[in-house]
Amino acid sequence: MQHVTSLSFLILAYSNYLSHAGAHVSCGGGGGRSAPPTKLRQVAKRQVDYILGDNPLRMSYMVGYGPRFPRRIHHRGSSIPSVAAHPARIGCKAGAAYYASAAPNPNLLVGAVVGGPSDATDAFPDARAVFQQSEPTTYINAPLMGLLAYFSAHPNPAEWADD
């Protein structure tokens, strides 16, 4: 999702620039084809919808969002028991047992977006060991927050009309 969230945020920002400039983006290839800013916003919105569960797996890649989401994310604080559940110290090497466990993480890192599917087949193993797909990162989550903020403030696509 690293590239999906970053590029979608860029597309959304560019669509806002185009709206204020009263311009369209050229599609190239001759023929004078172009896309209005609203089309770019629709592309960005489709990507957000995909991340949140409108995809072939019907799975949200945001922990805690919707009925189906990643349960075994690659995150130490999420994958080991809380101090309340396990008051004794858990050393670095002792955490390996929790890392290797097939059990869902005991602590939900609500709102964290993981790396997502691996390829065009939308395969997602939901396994801590596959950190490329199951690890939440700031560079995935930060641009998504910008997208969610925009679409929260502008939930009605009719409001996206080009200037």
Pick the catalytic residue from 20, 24, 49, 74. 74
Alpha carbon separation from 13 to 28, 61, 99 (Å, rounded): 20, 23, 39
Instruction: List, for residues 84-108, the tens digit of each pLDDT value.
Output: 888 888 888 888 888 889 999 999 9
Instruction: List, for residues 23-79, the tens digit of each pLDDT value.
Output: 999 887 777 788 999 999 999 999 999 999 999 999 999 999 999 999 999 998 899
Q: Give the mean pLDDT of 124-137.
A: 93
159 is catalytic: no
| Amino acid 162: pLDDT | 63
Domains of the chain: 1-159 (1.50.10.10)
Alpha carbon separation from 2 to 49, 70, 91 (Å, rounded): 15, 16, 31
Pick the catalytic residue from 20, 54, 126, 162. 126
Helix (H, G, I), strand (E, B) or coil at 62: strand
Pick the catalytic residue from 135, 159, 162, 163. 135
75 is catalytic: no
135 is catalytic: yes
